Structure 1
Amino acid sequence: MKKATEYSLFNDVCSFVDDAAKHLEIHPGLLEQIKQCNSIYKFHFPLRNDDGTYETLTGYRIQHSHHKLPVKGGIRYSEFVDEEEVKGLAALMTYKCALVNIPFGGAKGGISINPLKYNVNQLERITRRYTAELIKKKFIGPAIDVPAPDYGTGAREMAWIVDTFEAFSPELINAKGCVTGKPLSQHGIEGRTEATGQGVFFGIREAVNVEDDMKALGLTKGLRGKKVIVQGLGNVGFYSAKYISEAGGKVIGVAEWNGGIWDESGINIEELKKYQIKNKGFKGYPKGEFIKNSKEILTYDCDILIPAALENQITIENAANIKAKIIGEAANGPVTQEAEKVLLEKGVMIIPDMYLNAGGVTVSYFEWLKNLSRVSFGKLEKRYDMEKYRKLLATIENATGEEFTEEERDALIRGASERDLVLSGLEETMVTAYQDMNRTRKEKGIESLRTAGFILALERIAISYMDLGIFP
């Protein structure tokens, strides 16, 4: 099944790069090198089904930029996977990593299947064969190319990938670092599951805390009371909505592929998620109004709209009807270039995907570092820190004659866990990157945060090439 239109995410990304390059003095040859995909691997392999029949599947792994190694990017299982989509997603990974200062080049992979049509045994055979094909061409490895989960894949598939890779490379001590997003039992990392959604929350929180920007949009500072619509209640959408709700935002609409829920009094995200898992959708949910044509919800009145599903969701066809003041691109490429021009003219703030969903790759970076060092974050220093804080509290109590309660004592001496350190690193990354991006936007006198993000990314990538002496 192919896309109904000739839309190209890769061409859109290249157009965004060209817009950003207008604000920089960059060698034309260098710009062309940065834009193009370095390596494209398309392959076919057979699947023997349980009934004895065969089918031929198509897989992709595309490495967009080798300015830094290894390259990094997820593996997607979807019937919409094709070369143009994977090229576009790989390119986005390059600029995303550069923007948030993660030392990876960009890559992406996928298999053109609907994973819902296959059982677990079939999916395992597909995943292991896909991995074997990557190994044969050296398109995977902790120093070469490090995949991760994406749409249609998760920790289970990553476990199959690392097991297959280790079987082919028994002598490689850092083999676990060939892929991230693994289960904890396979040397994954605490906090990876919610990382992208947590990053979306940190990014939106940082944006709405800039008082001048919110005043220009006619909004108050902060998340409290903001009306939010989320498209997609998968991993990213769920955690984005959950953390925003906990911070005082009010989720009033949730759209999924098979229907949506609208409730202006506010939606309990955890209750809705439990219902969705049990009933395979929102139909029959006792609270709020069920909206059969869920894409309509994107045009409903709200302060913040978070498309967290697939690309190409806000287009020239529906952009004029969008009422949100802020669009947070939790998905990859949900707003087309044509639609963005319409939205910017309307004064909408778009927090771009290349920044906002970088939480996944940021925590993947931490997991990769953990695998290379072969030690968990906090393992060496946690007990030392706890003992140090315990002695400090005792000194304070002796000096003041006052004693802390047991709860206060536990809170003050608790050492940082792996999850604490991971989320702290993620927050620092997202906060710093937004401030850099917003400052660049204002210094260049441009409206688009996306263009500002691409400017920063291009500058950093160009420096990498120039330091190698490849371009002047």
Structure 2
Amino acid sequence: MYKNKQSKTIPCSFFNCIEKNFDKAARFIPIEKGLLEQIKACNSVYRMHFPVKIGKEIKVIEAYRVQHSHHKLPCKGGIRYSIKVNQDEIMTLAALMTYKCAIVDVPFGGAKGGIKIDPQTISKDNIEKITRRYTSELIRKNFIGPGIDVPAPDYGTGEREMSWIFDTFSSICPGDVNALACVTGKPISQGGVRGRKEATGLGVFYGIRELCRMKEDMLSVGLDVGLVGKKIIIQGLGNVGYHAATFFHEAGAIIVALAEREGAIYNKNGLDVSQVIFHLKNTRSILNFPGAKNIDNTEKALELECDILIPAALENVIHKNNVNQIKAKIIGEAANGPITPEADEILEKKGVIIIPDIYLNAGGVTVSYFEWLKNLSHVRYGRIEKRFSENMNAELLQVIENTCRKKISIEEKKIILKGAREIDLVRSGLEDTMISGFHKIRDLKKSSKIKNMRTAAFVLAINKIIESYEKSGIFP
């Protein structure tokens, strides 16, 4: 359910939305119904209650860990801390993780975790107590481990919580040489990987940028090729929305509106994202930003004139009551499930291109995969080849200078000689993954005569899972 300021409650279950999209895709897959039901079903659901002493009271904490699919191991998915956490939500998000991983060729089964608390009202010490006890419960039931199930940050969690999880795991399971790989999203000092924080937002940027390079697709919505000058609206300035906005701004796109819980700001000539963030930190609100118009109802920002709309906050924000007011030609789903099935069908008839969430926000799990590999290999990216590459480039430059009898400037030499750092390699891998995933979806859509990218993405994911099951011999 999604309820926003000055808007009505939208009676659409997030779980039902995913089920409907899966069923649409299943029509294009000639396989026995029972096998599709196996792919759709959650394999393991661990619901737990454990006591934690908070102050002078003992509180019983409700928590979950769901492993949706074991077609590949380990399972992978974030842990969220929210008072709204429930079993259906965690099961749905675990399913989405399965499909995301399949689309971008990350060898994980989908999982998700959640603890039903409000982290804003609990002290750091008590959050640590809850996190460590939750981790011990996962260990007790074999629901965490480098080759079993690897959690990551999600809503309400971050590097701090991941470091507590790693510390608890390594304390209870001493001697595990791969203990660092039991969780991703850790601080750099504890085996984290550079580029993880911005990974999802950067993946959103790469995915939309690739669409905007397609002349045929751009002609279908009456836009020119490329990002420069495209008018963009972003809803949500959390980790994903902020980084996406920054990368689009740097690429020459015009961010005309930004929306947050308290309202939105609009400037047809564009907003400087870094200045908006500075204003947000100082005032705790994006409203009253100099030179921008305030929009009290944040949902109304979705209906403004723009080329690209990026919902990066909550699910079901575009629904049957506001879909006809949406003017964007392209919608990039940075959030999970921001469009209801009813709205999806209307937008499709209008010719709007929707880049689906199960592909577009897979940047986070992609870079989590890189961190997991780094932890298993026990060496940071770039350490082995960086100096070698610099020495080889230096020799090549010397040959060029001798052959051409012309010196290359110091500034140019610095650019050419620089070896790849960890963040360069991580971003390069993420870019390649997102570009490759986009074209697999697009090619499947065209070859199978599927009407939209969402259905094509689900078909691609299901086919990859079926292929994995068949190779393992699990399916008869």
TM-score range, shorter chain: over 0.9
2:175 aligned residue = 171
1:26 aligned residue = 31
| Of 136, 145, 154, the match for 2:140 | 136
2:256 is paired with a residue of what secondary structure?
A: strand
2:6 aligned residue = none
2:390 aligned residue = 386
| Of 254, 257, 262, the match for 2:261 | 257
1:244 aligned residue = 248
Structure 1 position 182 matched with structure 2 position 186? yes
| Of 15, 39, 50, the match for 2:44 | 39
| Of 197, 213, 218, the match for 1:209 | 213
1:220 aligned residue = 224
* Per-residue deviation, 1:7: 3.4
* Per-residue deviation, 1:5: 6.3
Structure 1 position 358 matched with structure 2 position 342? no
Contact 1:260 1:294 in 2 (8 A): yes
1:366 is paired with a residue of what secondary structure?
A: helix
Structure 1 position 157 matched with structure 2 position 138? no
| Of 221, 234, 237, the match for 1:230 | 234
| Of 91, 111, 114, the match for 1:110 | 114
TM-score of the superposed pair, with normalisation by structure 2 = 0.96
Q: Which moved more, 1:459-468 or 1:423-432?
A: 459-468
Structure 1 position 59 matched with structure 2 position 60? no
Contact 2:10 2:319 in 1 (8 A): no
1:330 aligned residue = 334
Contact 1:2 1:80 in 2 (8 A): no
Structure 1 position 395 matched with structure 2 position 396? no
Distance in 2, matches of 1:182 and 1:465, equals 31
2:233 is paired with a residue of what secondary structure?
A: strand
Distance in 1, matches of 2:51 and 2:265, equals 41
1:469 aligned residue = 473
Distance in 1, matches of 2:316 and 2:437, equals 25
| Of 425, 429, 433, the match for 1:425 | 429
Contact 2:10 2:316 in 1 (8 A): no
Assess, with a 3 A threshold, how the Cα gap between structure 1 residues 6 and 316 changes in structure 2: closer, same or farther: closer
Contact 1:8 1:84 in 2 (8 A): no
Contact 2:329 2:353 in 1 (8 A): yes
1:443 aligned residue = 447
Assess, with a 3 A threshold, how the Cα gap between structure 1 residues 278 and 170 changes in structure 2: closer, same or farther: farther
| Of 378, 381, 388, the match for 1:374 | 378
Letter in 1 for 2:309: L
Q: Which moved more, 1:462-471 or 1:213-222?
A: 462-471
**Structure 2 unaligned spans of 5+:** 4-8
Distance in 2, matches of 1:71 and 1:378, equals 27
Distance in 1, matches of 2:262 and 2:124, equals 23
Letter in 2 for 1:229: I
* Per-residue deviation, 1:47: 3.2
Letter in 2 for 1:249: A
Number of residue pairs the alignment of both structures matches:
471
2:29 is paired with a residue of what secondary structure?
A: coil
* Per-residue deviation, 1:353: 0.5
Structure 1 position 92 matched with structure 2 position 91? no
**Structure 1 unaligned spans of 5+:** none
1:33 is paired with a residue of what secondary structure?
A: helix
Distance in 1, matches of 2:115 and 2:295, equals 31
Letter in 1 for 2:230: K
Distance in 2, matches of 1:2 and 1:116, equals 20
Structure 1 position 308 matched with structure 2 position 312? yes
Structure 1 position 48 matched with structure 2 position 56? no
Distance in 1, matches of 2:125 and 2:267, equals 40
2:320 is paired with a residue of what secondary structure?
A: coil
Letter in 1 for 2:234: V
Structure 1 position 148 matched with structure 2 position 145? no
Distance in 2, matches of 1:246 and 1:327, equals 20
Distance in 1, matches of 2:132 and 2:308, equals 40
Letter in 2 for 1:34: I
* Per-residue deviation, 1:320: 1.8
Letter in 2 for 1:124: E
* Per-residue deviation, 1:416: 0.4
Distance in 2, matches of 1:113 and 1:343, equals 36
Distance in 2, matches of 1:318 and 1:312, equals 11
* Per-residue deviation, 1:332: 1.1
Distance in 2, matches of 1:335 and 1:46, equals 38
Contact 2:386 2:420 in 1 (8 A): yes
Distance in 1, matches of 2:23 and 2:2, equals 28
1:347 aligned residue = 351
* Per-residue deviation, 1:471: 2.1
Q: Which moved more, 1:367-376 or 1:257-266?
A: 257-266
Distance in 1, matches of 2:52 and 2:322, equals 40
Contact 1:311 1:334 in 2 (8 A): yes
Letter in 1 for 2:280: Q
Distance in 2, matches of 1:467 and 1:432, equals 23
1:106 is paired with a residue of what secondary structure?
A: strand
Deviation track 1:316-357 (CA, whole Å, cap 9, x = no partner) reads 222222111111000111112222111111111110000000
* Per-residue deviation, 1:6: 5.8
Percent identity between the aligned chains? 53
Letter in 1 for 2:304: Y
2:42 is paired with a residue of what secondary structure?
A: coil
Letter in 2 for 1:94: T
* Per-residue deviation, 1:283: 2.9
1:119 aligned residue = 123
Contact 2:2 2:317 in 1 (8 A): no
Contact 1:385 1:415 in 2 (8 A): yes
Distance in 1, matches of 2:258 and 2:184, equals 29
* Per-residue deviation, 1:115: 1.5
Contact 1:62 1:108 in 2 (8 A): yes
